[in-house]
Each structure stands twice: as structure tokens, then as C-alpha cells.
Amino acid sequence: MKFTCSRDDLVNNVSIVQRAVTTNSTVNILNGILIEASDDDKIKLTGYDLQTGIEADVEASVTEKGAVVIDSKFFGDIIRKLPEPEVDIISDSNFQTTIKCGQAEFKIAGLDPEPFPKIPEIDETGAEKIVMGQKILKNMINHTIFAVSRDNSRPVLTGSNIVSDGSVLSVVSIDGFRMAINREDMGNDFPKINYIVPGKALTEMSKILSDDEDAEINIYTSMQNLLFDIGNVRMVSRLIEGQFINFDSIITKNPKTVITINRKQFLDAVDRASLIIMTDDRKCPVRFLSNNPSELTVQATSARGNLQENISISLEGDLIDVDFNSRYVLDVLKNIDDEEIKVEVNGGQGPCIIKPVEGEKYIYLILPIRR
């Protein structure tokens, strides 16, 4: 194998593919990147951890076709330190690989690509397909991914539910203590879909997606696999099997208390309270207390000391006195852009819901800490 390509293009695409490479597998080849030169004008890089696979095409001048697997971290470290904008890579029949750039020349051992596992193929012609803006999907993932469960005893909650009723697309994450829903109106001809995508795959995909308003992504599903295709980069992930929680049934329709509050002031007060709270322990919650309909008191107490801060609000319904995990509240408030938000409280044991003053583009639910 022999090819020449741009160092910067190679670095950028290796960084993308590395997101799907395991770093400590006992199966040595899974720690590597598969490099394939099978066309005259491009090479293909592949990383695969047996759950998520990423392929990236890099423009190149290929003079000899072939393939090799090189340790991902070692290869990435080398190419990032190359001195010139163009790099030559040559691999011989024993997979000894030469990397030449300017006056620098590395000779490293590669691996036979034959045992490298094959990423599941999705027949795009027969697969279910949706097309949407990359920026829209990126925002929907980022606004919900923090609520994905890390508890493998409930596999369906380790992913996000991506579901459409034919016009509105929802991304939903639940970890048993909180829920995050983000909705987008996609128009009446949007396909009906319902699948659960692993949180790891969505996290890595969000880092690849563009902020360009015009950039699109094609998403294909077939059997138990999903393909994200943005042109030169493709990600394949296994879907999570099982039935996701009926999230609409969790949302309280008639809250006991409705508070309208400035998001930034609320965020800053809870953030200051978190300085007092040293841990996620139930013994150190943040307390929200209202003695009148126009003021909310934020309190925190621990061995470090205490904080009390008052915020102007507009409250309808019952006065409140309720405790929450401060980190859960911060995660929500940091992912909202609105100046003002609505906080619906259902006593000291019912779920709290945070959503826009108008509409339900996003809904966040947090369970209180019982005293």
C-alpha cells in the first residue's frame, strides 16, 4: 500500500475515527485503525469497538492499493507531530509501515488487516431513511444526553429514544431520577420512527455533526443497526432492543405550583449553592423554599457552611419547600437558552417539571429528594 495525502486532513479524520476505537482491549487489533487504499483518489479509515463503528474517507493520491491496521493512539500521536503539510505512507507485504513527511521518517510495525472485524453493512436502498439538519440533531442530542442512564442493569435507559409521530421528532433520555425531552417540528411528511440509540454513539456523533444551518445528515435503520451518514464520515451503531418507558405518562398535567423565573438568575443561585454542597449525597441537597408568591429562597447546608439566596419569581398555586440534587438542576438549566422558564412543582414527593413559558419544545423532569 502506498499513498500521499494532506497531513491536516489525515489528522482531522483520524481524530474522528478514534472516537470508535477502544483503548484497552485485550484483542490487540481493536486498539487499531484500519487504513484501506482501495480507490485511486481516497483512503478509508475505520475504527470499531464492536458496538460503534466509524468510517472516514480522506482524499489521497493512491499509487499502490492495500490495507494495514496501526495502533490508534500511536498513529495519532505521530501524524499530529509531522512537520510538513503532505505525508507519504507506505506499507509492505509484512505490514511494516513507513510514514514520511519532510525530513522525518517513521518506520513502525502494522498489523494484518484480515482479522479486523467487519462493521455491519446497511443496504441503503432497502433501509428506513430520514434526512434532517445536522445542527438540529446535534442540539437535540446535546440537550438530552446528560439524562442517559449509566446503569447497565436497565439497558434501554442507557440510550436515548428517538421517536417521531410523523411530524414531530422527539429525543428522550431517562435515568430513573430525571428525564429530558427535546422536540422539533419536522413537517407533515417526516417518517414515523421509534428506536433506542446507545448514549455513547450519540455522544460521539454530536461531536462530529456540523453547526452549519445547511448541512444535512442521512440516517438509515435496518434490522438492529443504525447508520449516520454525513458524506465523508459514516457511523454505524447497534440499536438497543427493548421497550422504552412511556414518557408522556410521567408528565404531570395539573401541577400544584407553577413558578415563572429568570433562568440565568436561577442557574447562578444553584451554582453558588453547589459550592457548599460537596457531594451528590442525599444529605446535602439544594432546598427551594417560597414564603410568598414573589420570592424563591435557594438554600444549601453542609459541613462547609451554608448559603441562602433570594430570587424574584411569579408563583401560582401552593407555596413550596422541596429538596433536589443540585447537579441535576444545573444540568437542566445549562441546557436551556430561554431567558425565562416555567417550573412546575408537585409537592415534596412529586416530579418537578421545567419547560418553556410558552409551548413544550423541551421538557425536563427531576424527582425531588424525599426528606
Q: Which pLDDT does position 150 carry in this prediction?
A: 93
Distance CA 346, CA 229 (A): 43
Residue 162 CB-half CA count within 13 A: 22
**Among the three residues 248, 282, 314, which one is the final residue of a domain in this structure?**
248
- Say whether both 48 and 150 belong to one domain: no
pLDDT for 282 equals 66
Transcribe 233-292 into DSSP letters: EEEEEEPPPSPPP-GGGGS-SS-SEEEEEEHHHHHHHHHHHHHH--SS-TTS-EEEEEEE
Q: Are residues 136 and 104 in the same domain?
A: no
| Domain of 305, in residue numbers | 251-366
Residue 125's pLDDT is: 82
179 shares a domain with 225: yes
How many domains are there within the chain? Answer: 3
Assess if residue 67 is contained within a domain.
yes
Asked if residue 240 and residue 328 are part of one domain, the reply reads no
Phi, psi of 355 (to 5 degrees): -155, 175
The whole-number pLDDT of residue 248 equals: 86
Report pLDDT for 181: 97
pLDDT for residue 284: 86
Whether 69 is covered by a domain: the verdict is yes
Are residues 105 and 14 both part of a single domain?
yes
Q: Is residue 120 part of a domain?
A: no
Last residue of a domain, one of 199, 232, 248: 248
pLDDT the model gives residue 283 = 73
* Tens place of pLDDT per residue across the chain (371 aa): 999 999 999 999 999 999 999 988 888 999 999 999 988 899 999 999 999 999 999 999 999 999 999 999 999 999 999 999 999 999 999 999 999 999 999 999 999 999 999 999 998 888 899 999 999 999 999 999 999 999 999 999 999 999 999 999 999 999 999 999 999 999 888 999 999 999 999 999 999 999 999 999 999 998 899 999 999 999 999 999 999 999 988 888 899 999 999 999 999 999 999 999 977 666 789 999 999 999 999 999 998 999 999 999 999 999 999 999 999 999 999 999 999 999 999 988 899 999 999 988 999 999 999 88
Query: Does residue 80 sit within a domain?
Result: yes
Listing DSSP states for 105-174 in one string gives: EEEEE-B-STTSPPPPP--TTTSEEEEEEHHHHHHHHHTTGGG----TTSGGGGEEEEEEESSEEEEEEE
Tell me the C-alpha to C-alpha distance, in Å, between residue 78 and each of 5, 16, 50: 15, 16, 25
The CA distance from 116 to 109, in Å, is 16
Domain-located, residue 28: yes
286-292 and 295-302 beta bridge pairing: antiparallel
Q: State the pLDDT at residue 280.
A: 64
The predicted structure's pLDDT at residue 250: 86
Q: What are phi and psi of 102, to 5 degrees?
A: 60, -130
Judge if 197 and 273 occupy the same domain: no
Q: What is the CATH number of the domain that holds 74?
A: 3.10.150.10
